[in-house]
């Protein structure tokens, strides 16, 4: 399998964490697609993924799977023993609900803030920006942090008693928040405590190698 991504990207982080949780890193070749030069919006990558986003999984039969949730579903099902996406109908329903909320209320909102209300990936890539919309999404992300703080006051993980795809998506959101210097509000103590534990988790802590980190410096 091949993963096309950018090592330090918050969306690629979701798939890298899933790979580590499933012990599949050794089965994957990583190919960097440079976000900062807009390589993900050029014809070669658009042929892999119409949306022009990262990451993308390429299977041995040349099937391309984009979108983090879809890739995680595929990886989680490979060994017949899903651990990230649920096993019972109830687990699957709750995990997918919370995963979508993590995307809408946190990760994607921060992405819009980054691309519209900050310099983003630079003028060569950010051909249209709407700062007002970006700041609205920043505020939405902060509300999302309060929401997940409330969730994590009642249970150890985002979708219940076990680490899941929903946790990975919130992790991606908080990685992105760190990149844009959007701090978790001080009053969100449950979210802060959970985030500290997640950062110490091996799949999160070791998602990028030192050489990849050096290569990704712009």
- Domains in the chain with CATH codes: 2-83+205-213 (3.40.30.10), 89-202 (1.20.1050.10)
Evaluate whether 171 touches 13 at the Cβ level (below 8 Å).
yes
Which pair of structure tokens corresponds to residue 184? 């978790």
For 56-99, how does the pLDDT look when each residue is reduced to its tens digit (9 = 90+)? 999 999 999 999 999 999 999 999 999 999 999 999 999 999 99
pLDDT of residue 218: 54
Chain-wide mean pLDDT for the chain?
A: 96
pLDDT of residue 167: 98
pLDDT of residue 217: 65
pLDDT of residue 214: 73
pTM given for the model: 0.95
pLDDT of residue 48: 97
* Average pLDDT estimate for 179-186: 98
């Amino acid at each position: 399998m091949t993963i096309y991504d950018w090592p330090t990207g918050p969306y690629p982080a979701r798939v890298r964490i899933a790979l580590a949780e499933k012990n599949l890193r050794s089965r994957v070749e990583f190919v960097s697609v440079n976000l900062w030069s807009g390589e993900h919006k050029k014809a070669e990558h658009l042929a892999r993924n119409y949306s022009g986003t990262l990451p993308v999984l390429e299977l041995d039969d040349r099937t391309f799977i984009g979108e983090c949730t879809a890739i995680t579903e595929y990886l989680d099902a490979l060994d017949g023993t899903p651990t990230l996406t649920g096993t019972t109908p109830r687990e699957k329903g709750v995990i997918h609900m919370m995963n979508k909320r993590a995307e809408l209320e946190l990760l994607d909102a921060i992405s819009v803030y980054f691309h519209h209300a900050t310099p983003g990936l630079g003028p060569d890539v950010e051909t249209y920006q709407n700062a007002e919309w970006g700041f609205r999404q920043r505020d939405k992300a902060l509300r999302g942090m309060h929401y997940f703080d409330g969730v994590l006051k009642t249970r150890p993980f985002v979708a219940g008693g076990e680490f899941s795809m929903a946790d990975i998506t919130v992790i991606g959101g908080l990685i992105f928040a760190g990149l844009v210097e959007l701090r978790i509000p001080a009053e969100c103590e449950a979210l802060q405590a959970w985030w500290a534990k997640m950062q110490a988790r091996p799949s999160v802590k070791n998602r990028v190698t030192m050489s990849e980190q050096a290569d990704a410096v712009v």
